[in-house]
Amino acid sequence: MLNNWQPTFGPEDYRVKEDLRVFDGYFKMYRLHLIHRRFQGGEVEIRRELFRRGNAVCVLLYDPRRDAVVLVEQFRVGALEAPDGPWLLELVAGIVEPGETAVDVAVRESDEEAGLAISGVRPISRFLPSPGACDEWIDLMFACVDAADAEGVHGLPEEGEDIKVQVIDAEAAFELVRNGRINSGPAIIGLQWLELNRPWIRNEEMTPRR
């Protein structure tokens, strides 16, 4: 039984023989020819397509006084076959531009997608959502908002964004995760984190500052 896991191999245990761009559109796809060590000894040679998307930030917006979360509803082409259609409830999110920090993106996207200023920003997790085919890292963040004026449709028209703001009671949002109605990975992780940490967050955020 392991108490503390460390990777068996490291960066020196693989090499890339070929890295070829095979598609250059809205997104970019590459075909890689790689060799890496095997657990049982020797090496294996593989060819894989890699979607190089760039890193992203997702931010869970929470109003501790109203005990509500601010989510966004939008069309997602990857969800065309979803049972309820391709409009998903998600966290505010955006791609990291050169020179930006995760906090920079959280501030920018909260304004662009929800029209809200944020405070109390803190990290939740950093993870690879689909490492079998995509190199994207997601910085999952938490931030507080005043949801009193959270409403309407937002997004940048030049980017084809059509984003509707939804304010949902925290308990109702947790239930949407449990029954599978919220099916976006970052939203599931963020809301489960909030369900675990909500008591101390509310106490901290609602305690008057001296």
**Using CA atoms, how far apart are residues 87 and 77, in angstroms rounded to an integer?**
9
151 is catalytic: no
Indicate which residue of 45, 151, 159, 161 is catalytic: 159
- Pair of tokens at residue 179: 């029954």
Pick the closest to residue 127 from 193, 200, 33 (CA basis): 193
In this structure, the strands spanning 28-37 and 14-24 are: antiparallel
- DSSP, collapsed to helix, strand or coil, labels residue 6 as coil
**Using CA atoms, how far apart are residues 207 and 204, in angstroms rounded to an integer?**
5
Residues belonging to the active site: 159
